[in-house]
Amino acid sequence: MMVVDDTRDTMPALAADVREPCIAAESLDAYFGASRVVRDVSFGVQTGQVTAIIGPSGCGKSTLLRCLNRMHETIPGARVEGEVRFDGRDIYAPAVSAIGVRRHIGMVFQRPTPFPTMSIRDNVAAGLKTVARRDRPSRRETDDLVERALKRAALWEEVKDRLSTSAVALSGGQQQRLCIARALATSPRVLLLDEPTASLDPLSTQRVEELVYELRSQVTIIIVTHNMQQAARISDRTAFMLAGELIEYAPTNAIFTAPKDPRTEAYITGRFG
């Protein structure tokens, strides 16, 4: 049973911004069985911004991210309480399908996950096949969409001559950018990145970071990272989580130069975590 209190005060972070947020969590709780790993989290993300979620391991930042496109519920025994508003609609409302939500809110994981049975082209086109048959793009349109997605993911030049070869032959960094291209191919409004550079070498990490920076004008990005320098480099706003709670959510500059909460300060100055 979902309990929503509409009279609750708006978060201070939201009040400071007059625009309607693109995606917003409201008193969100996430459970694995009986354990509550996300506790009463509310925050909103503006269109076209990069938001970083930081915090120590096990603080619930990945789980929070997975609640935003209804991936959390795919784990047996996991459930969500509260609301996630996307374009003003609660994605957990009974009439909303999880599949539709995930089509508009793309996700990239910690480890690259190219489909091993598919070619590079088919990997990028994989998401395009989920729409109803009559809305499905033709072969030619698919080729165009694949090319555009690979260009947006800064991978086109490296793979344009071997689109029909296996995707697992690519390097780890290329595979991760392929996964970003695959998520971008369906033109999602929001892109969720769950520690996308955790398994990459520094050079590949830099490429992915540059990519995030370039994509910010086209798609709203929320990135989970345990790398504070990364959060400082690429995000507009940063959320700090601790033990399932959202401790502080503010412009990145403010979080790293003048944190309001002593726990945030303790974490970013390296006293724990």
- Interacting residues with other proteins (CB under 8 A): 69, 71, 74, 76, 99-100, 102-103, 106-107, 109, 111, 113, 115-118, 126-127, 130, 166, 168, 179, 182-183, 186
Nearest distance in Å: CB 269, other proteins: 34
Q: Give the residue with the Cβ less far from other proteins, 170 or 179.
A: 179
User: Which backbone phi and psi does 195 adopt, to 5 degrees?
Assistant: 45, 60
Query: 223: which 2 tokens?
Result: 């990135």
- In sequence order, the 6+-apart residues with CB closer than 8 A to the CB of 108 are 176, 179, 180, 183, 191, 192, 193, 194, 196
Q: Give the residue with the Cβ less far from other proteins, 4 or 75.
A: 75
88 CB-contact burial (10 Å; exposed 0-12 / middle 13-18 / buried 19+): exposed
Q: CA of 69: how far to CAs of 53, 222, 259, in Å?
A: 15, 11, 29
Q: Give the residue with the Cβ less far from other proteins, 81 or 194.
A: 194
Nearest distance in Å: CB 251, other proteins: 29
Q: Give the residue with the Cβ less far from other proteins, 103 or 148.
A: 103
Nearest distance in Å: CB 162, other proteins: 14
Q: Residue type for 73, please?
A: E
- Look up residue 8 and give its DSSP letter: S
Nearest distance in Å: CB 178, other proteins: 11
